[in-house]
Amino acid sequence: MTSNIRRPAVAGMFYPSDPVELKETIKKLLDNNRPSKKYKNIVGIISPHAGYIYSGESAAFAYNVLNENSNFKTAIIISPGHHEYFRGCSIFTGDAYDTPLGKTAVNKKLSEQIINNSKDVRFSDMGHEKEHALEVQLPFLQVIKKDFTIVPIVMGDQNAVYVQDLSKALASVINDDIVIIASSDLSHFHSKKEAQKLDKIIIDRINNFEYPELYNDLASRKTEACGGGGIVALLETADIVGKNKAEVLSYTDSSNVTLDTTNVVGYLSAVVYGG
């Protein structure tokens, strides 16, 4: 049934709507933005979610890491909710997410396991219809991986209670067939100098694997990240399963494209892994 498919909301705006152009755009980004290191025992990545022209280079570093470790079968994508507020987290009720590159099925069995191990994650379409932060991750995945499923999660509230509940639920199901993608941009609409100061707090917290401190920094507004709850949930999940290393792969901001240093948005990508 067509009603069970989540249709693209930002194709032609955040990324090309033509499938040939889209695939070529992503392949070029991947070719030109490769990490200098190799990583093993990957739990997940952090990836930005602006238009590809702005944050695609940074995202490509993280997806190259996944491409080199492409034995995963399911990607759990954690997205902030930009359009609707609701308590807890929602997993899309439908059968698939659609992009110009085709449909990707929702892993219903894994989704049910996560919900059964959680107090605050539930099947719901709330937050999914218009959400770009989740959608823009899919074409990258579709280029690096032919056959995979997804668990699309939107956080309607990034309160510590919901972050910890999600972390514990994910840790209860995570295995070598699963990767977690935390979708987040960083500071918004500051001068480049101020943005770099704010964003360095997050960069250092990720590199030092200091997720409780990162949550406190976000809650006290010492720094900004619209998907900060997802970043903390990914790090906490990794810690619970004994894989407690993280490294920022790329940091950029919108002035690299716009040349406007008075009003920028920050972007980073990172990998979370074990020894």
Res 1 pLDDT > 50: no
Instruction: Round to whole Å and give the CA distance between 252 and 273.
Output: 22
DSSP-assigned states of every residue in 185-221: ---EEE-HHHHHHHHHHHHHHHHTT-HHHHHHHHHTT
Burial 122-131 (b: 16+ CB within 10 A, else e): bebebbbeeb
Of 63, 51, 77, which Cα lies nearest the Cα of 140? 63
Assess whether pLDDT exceeds 90 at residue 69: no
Q: Which of 64-73, 175-184, 226-235 has the lowest mean pLDDT?
A: 64-73
Distance of CA 169 to the CA centre of its chain: 17
| Amino acid in position 57 | E
Cα dihedral 79, 104, 1, 84 in deg (nearest 10): 10
If you average pLDDT over residues 168-184, what whole number do you get?
97
Domain hosting 119: range is 2-273
* The pairing of beta strand 102-105 with beta strand 96-99: antiparallel
pLDDT band at 32 (very low <50, low <70, confident <90, very high): very high
pLDDT at residue 68, rounded to an integer: 85
Average pLDDT, the chain: 95
Q: Which CATH number characterizes residue 120's domain?
A: 3.40.830.10
pLDDT given for residue 3 in this prediction = 54
Distances (CA, A) of 119 to 77, 90, 124, 161, 170: 19, 12, 14, 10, 12
Listed residue (38, 116, 44) closest to 76, CA to CA = 44
Query: Which range has the worst mean pLDDT, 85-89, 93-97, 111-115, 193-197?
Result: 85-89
Q: Is 189 left (phi over 0), alpha (psi -120 to 50) or beta?
A: left
The tally of domains found in the chain comes to: 1
pLDDT tens-digit series, residues 120-143:
999 999 999 999 999 999 999 999
Report how far apart, in Å, the C-alpha atoms of 125 and of each of 56, 107, 154 are.
Answer: 27, 15, 9
Closest-CA residue to 154 (of 178, 183, 174):
183
pLDDT (tens digit per residue) in 155-174 = 998 999 999 999 999 999 99
pLDDT band for position 201 (cuts 50, 70, 90)? very high
